[in-house]
Structure 1
Amino acid sequence: MSTIAVKTNETPIIITRGIYDLLKIFINKKKLSRHNELKLDQELKYANQVLRKDVPEKIVDLNKKVKVKELETGAEYEYNLVAPQKARRKHNTLSILSPIGIALLGYEEGAELSWEMPEGVKFYKILEVTPLA
């Protein structure tokens, strides 16, 4: 039996109870790669659960605009994270349950993280987190 080494951020993620429960269901449905499943499970084990009104402003959460930099290429991306049922390409919004949405949830502006994408493990830095207008 092989084991996968999964590095998590030293600072616990901060998420709401609702998002915590949603991510646990997502893990149980086996919708993630083994690497991401182990990483997310570890993150959730130490997560700080708060009420929606108590989520700090600079934490990636529902209805936030997030600017990230892919550390290997230097490419920068901006994501408008919304609930899955509200995600629309024509409105430039992305579901919090998309691969990058799950990867970023609960992290603070300035954090660096890794997540396995279809093309391999990618490393990101969160440059900016702001509320959606």
Structure 2
Amino acid sequence: MKESTKQLILLQEDYQLLKSHTRLVAENESIESKSARKLAAELENNPLVLERDLFPKDVIRIHSEVTLQDLKTKKEVSFTLVLPGEANVQLKKVSIYAPMGTAVIGYKQGDEFRWEMPSGERAYTILRVTNPE
């Protein structure tokens, strides 16, 4: 679904967690299972997996603060990417298995991507990425 030839970059600990957890979520019939299946496919597509000391500061990972801009409407949206149990719309914490969470993981500041959202396919650019230390 991501119309990009860019290789995903993932933090080693995120990759290991997502590889095991994504299979379980994908097998369930839940709201998150469709996104989990898409993410599982992305994880099989030879991502670049890096240790923390080599991980670029502008690449989205779990607990990244992200600001995107919709390429059509120019509207900006900001959120923190989190694990499902931490998701909270009011606090702008988006689950890795929400369509937007699945779309952004492994991409970096400046990247553009297209992704199928509940409202249809959308195109975004990643304006800012802030990662915890």
- Regarding TM over 0.5, the answer is yes
Question: What is residue 131 of structure 2 aligned with on the other side?
Answer: 131
The 5-angstrom pairing of residues 18-97 of structure 1 reads: 18-27=17-26, 29=28, 31-32=33-34, 41-42=41-42, 44-97=44-97
Change (3 A) 1:24 1:110: farther
Q: Is the CA contact (8 Å cut-off) linking 1:12 and 1:43 kept in structure 2? A: no
Residues 1:98 and 1:13: Cα distance change in structure 2 (over 3 Å): same
Q: Please report how far the alpha carbon of residue 87 of structure 1 lies from its aligned counterpart in structure 2 after TM superposition.
A: 1.8
Q: Structure 1 residue 113: deviation in Å? A: 0.7
Find out whether 1:13 has 2:34 as its counterpart. Answer: no
- Unaligned 5+ residue runs, structure 1? 1-5
Report the TM-score when normalising by structure 1.
Answer: 0.76
What is the deviation of 1:37?
5.1
| Alignment CA distance shift 1:130-1:124 (3 Å) | same
Cα distance in 1 for partners of 2:2, 2:117 equals 16
User: Secondary structure at the residue paired with 1:18?
Assistant: helix
Write the distance in 1 (CA, Å) between the matches of 2:62 and 2:108: 13
**Displacement, 1:124?**
0.8
How many pairs align?
126
**Identity of counterpart residues, as a percentage?**
25
Is residue 109–residue 126 contact of structure 1 (8 Å, CA) maintained in 2? yes
Counterpart Cα distance in 2 of 1:23 and 1:52: 21
Say if 1:60 and 1:106, in contact at 8 Å, map to a contact too: yes
Superposition deviation, residue 63 in structure 1: 0.9
TM-score if structure 2 supplies the norm length? 0.76
Amino acid at match of 1:10: T
